[in-house]
Amino acid sequence: MQFIDDLINFAVFRHALLTGLMVGVVCSVLSVIVVLKRMAFIGQGISHAGFGGVGTAVLIGPAVGSLFALPMLDRLPWWLRDAVPAFDDFVVLAFCIATAVLIGVMTRRRQLEADSAIGILLAGTMAWGVLMTNIATTLHDTDWWVTRFGVRGAVPSFEQLLFGSLMSVSFEDMWTALVLGLLVLTLLAVLAKEMLFFAFDETAARVFGVRTTVMYYLLLVLLSLTIVMSMRLVGFVLVSALLVIPGATAVLVSQRLGRVLVLAVAVGVLGVAGGLVLSLELNLSSGATIVGVLCAIFGVTYVGRAGLNRRVVRA
């Protein structure tokens, strides 16, 4: 199989597989909370905000790198330097967290309905990203910029940003995903009781002393971290599917929380692994293929569940 040969011979495919497995696990766990809290649209709004972060990083990244980041990184040992996330990851994360907090402030204070706030910020951040990319394309070609910084910023492919690319996952991206993924899973494990109580019944959780506002904003930050670790592999548009489909599929099968979590992780990992195999074998976009496999799993589960319910009713 082409997939096995590529895994053996090319490091980029091994990086993509490890990144994909971590992304699958983290997104699947979060998807259960997202489905229970009906926050799917919020996840989509946060993910699209990353597009504005990429545009900003394209504009100012070369200047920041030449003035601050690169001289500092040169002093680090090679193994630590390779593990440091790229500057654009920090900018994208900042944009995602800022957008998440703004959504939270607007909706928690009842100043604006959630769908309106998300729609405004989603469109605004994407427009910002396009404008910053256009300005960067013009500015980086000027003699002043080249003389001052000596570099031209690379403008990424819009298709790659929106839908991801298997070939864009580097060693640094893999380590970023692994570190952020472990951080998110650790926080969820430590606060599992409070987070799940908040997800099931926010009013009751508040009565029993759970800081529901803190849980809400923490969940938004965790979604932002997850989106940053997933963007190279599946893109900003498709990452929202990973934050919904595994949990929605698991809820169709069972109502027991422990079983739902296990099933969601199984669906997420199977979808990511199956999507990566198909993308390599058929030379397709990794993000679109992963989401396609997840949708197929959901469709089969939904049809099977509907058929089972009809048999029970007839009996």
The full set of domain ranges for the chain reads 2-314
Summarize pLDDT for 153-165 with one digit per residue, the tens. Answer: 566 666 777 777 7
Sequence-distant (6+) residues with CB within 8 A of 20 are: 233, 272, 273, 275, 276, 286, 290
Its pTM stands at: 0.83
pLDDT score of 26 more than 90: yes
Determine the distance from the C-alpha atom of residue 3 to the mean position of all C-alpha atoms in its chain, rounded to a whole number. 24
- pLDDT per residue as tens digits for the range 245-301: 999 999 999 888 889 999 999 999 999 989 888 888 888 888 889 999 999 999 999
Find, among 234, 242, 240, 59, the residue nearest to 156 by Cα. 59
**Interhelix angle for 40-64 vs 114-139, to 10°?**
20
The C-alpha torsion from 10 through 19 and 94 to 124, rounded to 10°, is: 90
Given a cut of 50, is residue 81 above it in pLDDT?
no
CATH code at 2-314:
1.10.3470.10
Distances (CA, A) of 17 to 92, 164, 270, 295: 23, 14, 12, 20
pLDDT by residue (tens digit) across 90-123?
788 888 898 888 888 888 776 777 778 888 888 8
